[in-house]
Amino acid sequence: MKFVVIFLFFILIAGAIGSNYENMNNSMPETDSIFDKKSTISTIFYDKNDAAHFKYHENESHILQWYEWWYANLKGENGKGIVTIFFTLGDLNNPILSTAGVFVAFLDEKESIEKITCYPFIDYSLDYEKCNVSIAGNRFYEKDGTFIIEYEEKGFSISMKLYPEGKPFGNATKIKDWQWAAWYVAMPYGKGEAWVKCKGREYYIKGNAYHDHNWGISKKMDFKWDWGEFNVNNEFAIIYGFAGNGERKGGIHFVNGSDHIFIPYGEAKIEYIEWERICGFKEPTKMHLYGQQENISIDFYVELQKAYMLGYKKIGKPYLLGKTYGSIKINGKEMRFSSVGFYEHHEIMPW
């Protein structure tokens, strides 16, 4: 039963997270409010980009297809890691036609432990001024430039702090017809630490961390997508995302403390070199990504390092930890880099 719940949750959210990059038309939310302009994002104290968005769209005709979630991960230096998602789905003005919940995964080399807190008429609150979500007493919020996540359920608890680096960025896209999606990377890279209590034992985890935020109105499982994030020595990040069933959207992002450079699809490419079937899911185990635009060019590979199982022992949905290596040239200066980070690949029917 545990695996069924986990699997259904990922099927529910998999269709909406990806296509979040190109400008939207005038019938959709204004993208200027979430671009990485210095005039709107000047400090690490985040503005409304990372706050809730439902009330601005509650009267749209397809509001039952609403989704919004706050995602974060921590990649521990000891092989352990954490993934958290605080989510809302559906028409939040109608408790019968909506839900909210929290998904948490404590990743381990041997076996991962997942928890979902989600049930009818769950108590939750959203903040429309800043990142501050509370669901059944569990919290994801920002305080003095630090992101704090607190979760507890039946003898299992996580307290996590994320210390952001890098210039936040984001934008939005029209998918097709009435469907649209928005994406805000509030923490492109940085460090984090967590205290975990599980099965009577206590763990301390520290390492690289990442946080982004997704919202929009779209059908579930309506397109395929790729995404990955890699912190390079806490100096800059390489983040990529490609989505779509025919003509793909998205691209490759370079971001550091002062700059965000985007290479759109067409000028950025992704090639799948090797595949492997993991627990029935066909996953890319080696990819080649490259592209150039104006004063930047990039060429790198992503290879599978570890597939964590979200489910029961060796039965479940793989969550992929990859290693990347390659080079980037900016204004004629070339740098070689390597890193480790999470990456994802989703098909409409992943098997």
Report how many domains make up the chain: 1
Model confidence at 173, in pLDDT bands (50, 70, 90)?
confident
The 10s digit of each residue's pLDDT in 312-339 is 656 678 899 999 999 999 999 999 999 9
In a domain, 105, yes or no: yes
Q: Is 94 exposed, middle or buried (0-12, 13-18, 19+ CB in 10 A)?
A: exposed
DSSP string, 113-176: EEEEE--TT--EE--SSSSEEEETTEEEEEETTEEEEEEEETTEEEEEEEEEES--EEEEEEEE
pLDDT at residue 164 greater than cutoff 70: yes
Asked if 135 contacts 126 with a C-beta cutoff of 8 angstroms, the reply is no
Domain span at 331 = 2-346
The 3-state DSSP composition of the chain as helix, strand, coil percent (nearest 5) reads: 10, 60, 30
The pLDDT tens digits for 108-148 are 877 789 999 999 999 999 999 999 999 999 999 999 999 99
CA pair distance 143, 205, nearest whole angstrom? 20
What are the C-alpha distances in Å from 23 to residues 28, 94, 150, 174, 175? 9, 30, 34, 7, 10
Does residue 229 belong to any structural domain of this protein? Answer: yes
Asked if residue 351 is part of any domain, the answer here is no
What is the reported pLDDT for 314?
A: 61
Q: Please give the share of the chain, as a percent, with pLDDT higher than 90.
A: 67
CATH number at residue 31: 2.40.370.10
Q: Which of 324, 272, 259 is nearest to 298 (CA)?
A: 324
Instruction: Tell me how far apart the alpha carbons of residues 196 and 203 are, in angstroms, rounded to a whole number.
Output: 5
Report if residue 322 sits inside a domain. Answer: yes
